[in-house]
């Protein structure tokens, strides 16, 4: 172990093959080279956030007008990312990875971010699983079943944690390393050359970017890694999740910065709603109604997705649609039938709008999503040639957050509290993708839950029946939901399941005077 690097988590057994001397040095070098720029960019985020909180509104950047008006394209996609009509997502848990790779989806996104609780065990064992998956050697035997890869599997894509997070178990010169550099660095060090030798490449999703300058940082990191590992330029490809309102104003610039390394953009719908609430939380005229009423067909969400397709196809890049989070309920066929019909409608809209692929959270949804994209694509691998010239870049439409007929209700408040508590409890127990009310909830939906509550309390919003949403009312609902969970699962289960701890944390981030930037930052101290 280098004197400059300290590892606080267990790194014996298979983990030693991940944290080799060479791999440790590689990650530490990324932190030293790119860490200062990351800190500067986070400071820039904070400075811009202050502008929006004082009434200024974002827009398309005048200083990058030439990029938007110039004629350029991203690099053509590699062969195994040409057809992405259905992508499945999930945490880096060994069984879930095998099932996802075998699901029939074209792409599997192995997630270190919103679908993963970043315990040291989850993070490092996830890297072990990636090494085995890349080499086709991942398998698992339980008392009930043996899990092995099929002959044909999905193309692997990895999502690291966001730039705002740190990995507290890996210190460089006494400071916790950027979690994104840790996750991506270990994945690339161990697997990039192997993937290239197998005729593929090292593919990733980049979460929560807020500007093209952050994309530039990643592009420079990829160029450096390709040189260090002696792999061809463009071996690393990144799809950027457009899940912040600020990134929505810089979509073409983000593609431009990543030209040789770009694999397109994704409409990260849940984080996008969270970003709208967070960015404009001080504006009373931008208070949103119940989460369930903010569908993909409301005007501002429709504008966001259509402009994303236009930006991507104008530059020869893939546009990937949003998440279908439903989990089939085999005990209730009627619930499943209604949900599958809704999933089909959602995917039909995406396919007809011009998206080249979409996301699902469960293997049973792959067929439904694929049917809708097959109906539009036919034998074509994508529809990048559909330029959507009927769509104009419209900043006012992106900022028009009115929801026709929308209202805040008691049921909506209670759902936010219940989902928030249950998800945080699951996250604290080490599970970052939690099945709640027949939906696969992750950190993004928990962020919506707590940020909506904060916004409603902060503005003294009134529900449809005239009741004001106050801190006292929220605390009453939190206490009632804990009682309901205790009745449902038993007091012993809720105590051991960390539900009260989760309820306290939910109340803290929902009722704080100052809005916590991310739920996962204070929650990380509880792991």
Q: How confident is the model at residue 526, as a pLDDT? A: 96
Q: Using pLDDT thresholds of 50, 70 and 90, give the confidence band for residue 3.
A: low
* Sign of the CA dihedral running 268, 125, 139, 141: negative
**What span, in angstroms and rounded, lies between the C-alpha atoms of 316 and 153?**
26
Percent of the chain predicted with pLDDT > 90? 93
Q: Which helix (H) or strand (E) holds 240?
A: strand 236-242
In what helix (H) or strand (E) does residue 169 lie, and over which residues does it extend?
strand 166-172
Residue recorded with tokens 């509290």: 417
H/E element, 130: helix 120-134
| Averaged pLDDT, 44-66 | 97
- Residue 188 contacts residue 202 (beta carbons within 8 Å): yes
* DSSP annotation string for 81-126: GS--SEEEEEES-HHHHHHHHTSS-SEEEEESSTTS---HHHHHHH
What residues have CB less than 8 Å from 184, skipping those under 6 apart? Answer: 158, 160, 204, 221
The mean-pLDDT minimum among 216-220, 433-437, 451-455 falls in 433-437
Residue ranges of domains in the chain, CATH in brackets: 5-397 (3.20.20.360), 410-524 (1.20.1220.12)
Tally the residues of the chain. 527
395: helix, strand or coil: helix
Mean pLDDT value of segment 364-389: 97
pLDDT at 447: 97
Confidence of residue 146 (pLDDT cuts 50, 70, 90): very high
Q: Residue 199 pLDDT > 70, yes or no?
A: yes
pLDDT computed for residue 328 by the predictor: 85
d(CA 200, CA 192): 9
Measured between alpha carbons, how far is 463 from 412 in angstroms, rounded to an integer? 9
Q: Which phi and psi (to 5°) does residue 259 adopt?
A: -40, -55
pLDDT digits (tens, 9 = 90+) for 251-272: 999 999 999 999 999 999 999 9
* H or E stretch covering 215: helix 212-229
**2, pLDDT greater than 80:** no
Share of the chain above pLDDT 70, in %: 99
Q: Check whether 49 has a pLDDT greater than 80.
A: yes
Which residues of 438-498 form beta strands (DSSP E)? 439-441
Tracing tokens 């067909």 back to the chain, one arrives at: 297
Q: Give 207's pLDDT tier (boundaries 50, 70, 90).
A: very high
Q: What is the pLDDT of residue 446?
A: 95
* Residues belonging to the active site: 159, 442
- With residue 141 as reference, give the H or E element that holds it: strand 139-141
Query: Mind listing the pLDDT tens digit for each residue in 290-300?
Result: 999 999 999 99
Using pLDDT thresholds of 50, 70 and 90, give the confidence band for residue 1.
Answer: low
Q: Across all residues in the chain, what is the average pLDDT?
A: 96
493 band by pLDDT with thresholds 50, 70 and 90: confident
Residue pair 159/109 in contact by the 8 Å Cβ criterion = yes
What is the tens place of the pLDDT at every residue in 93-137? Answer: 999 999 999 999 999 999 999 999 999 999 999 999 999 999 999
């Amino acid at each position: 172990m280098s004197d400059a690097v300290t590892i606080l988590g267990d790194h014996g057994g298979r983990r030693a093959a991940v944290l080799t001397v060479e791999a440790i040095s590689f990650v530490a070098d990324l932190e030293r080279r790119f860490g200062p720029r990351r800190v500067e960019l986070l400071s820039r985020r904070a400075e811009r956030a202050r502008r929006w909180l004082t009434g200024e509104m974002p827009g398309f950047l005048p200083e990058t007008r030439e990029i938007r008006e110039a004629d350029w394209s991203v690099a053509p996609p590699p062969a195994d990312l040409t057809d992405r009509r259905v992508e499945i997502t999930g945490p880096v848990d060994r069984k879930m990875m095998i099932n996802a790779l075998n699901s029939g989806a074209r792409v599997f996104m192995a997630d270190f971010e919103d679908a993963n609780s970043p315990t040291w065990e989850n993070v490092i064992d996830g890297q072990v699983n990636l090494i085995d998956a890349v080499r086709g050697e991942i398998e698992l035997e339980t008392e009930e079943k043996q899990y092995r890869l099929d002959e044909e599997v999905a193309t692997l894509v990895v999502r690291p944690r966001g730039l705002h997070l740190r990995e507290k178990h890996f210190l460089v010169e006494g400071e916790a390393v950027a979690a994104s550099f840790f996750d991506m660095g270990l994945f690339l060090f161990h697997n990039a050359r192997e993937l290239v030798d197998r005729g593929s490449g090292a593919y990733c999703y980049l979460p929560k970017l807020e500007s093209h300058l952050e994309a530039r940082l990643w592009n420079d990191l990829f160029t450096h890694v390709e040189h260090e590992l002696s792999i061809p330029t463009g071996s690393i490809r990144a799809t950027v999740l457009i899940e912040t309102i600020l990134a929505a104003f810089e979509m073409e610039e983000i593609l431009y910065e990543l030209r040789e390394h770009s694999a397109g953009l994704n409409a990260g719908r849940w984080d996008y709603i969270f970003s709208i609430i967070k960015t404009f939380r001080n504006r009373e005229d931008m208070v949103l109604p119940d989460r369930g009423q903010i569908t993909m067909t409301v005007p501002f969400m429709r504008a966001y997705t259509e402009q994303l397709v236009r930006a991507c196809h104008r530059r020869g890049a893939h546009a990937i649609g949003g998440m279908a989070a439903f989990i089939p309920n085999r005990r209730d066929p009627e619930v499943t039938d209604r949900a599958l019909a809704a999933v089909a409608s959602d995917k039909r809209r995406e396919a007809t709008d011009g998206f080249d692929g979409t996301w699902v959270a469960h293997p049973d949804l792959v067929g439904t999503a694929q049917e809708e994209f097959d109906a539009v694509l036919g034998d074509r691998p994508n529809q990048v040639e559909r330029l959507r010239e009927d769509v104009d870049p419209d900043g006012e439409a992106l900022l028009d957050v009115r929801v026709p007929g929308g209202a805040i209700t008691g049921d909506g408040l209670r759902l936010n509290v219940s989902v928030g508590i249950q998800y945080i409890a699951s996250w604290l127990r080490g599970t970052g993708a939690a099945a709640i009310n027949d939906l696969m909830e992750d950190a993004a939906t928990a962020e919506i839950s707590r940020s909506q509550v904060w916004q409603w309390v902060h503005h003294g919003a009134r529900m449809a029946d005239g009741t004001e949403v106050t801190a006292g009312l929220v605390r009453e609902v939190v206490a009632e939901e804990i009682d309901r969970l205790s009745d449902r699962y038993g007091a012993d289960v809720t105590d051991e399941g960390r539900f009260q701890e989760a309820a306290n944390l939910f109340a803290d981030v929902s009722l704080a005077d100052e809005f916590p930037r991310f739920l996962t930052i204070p929650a990380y101290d509880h792991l």
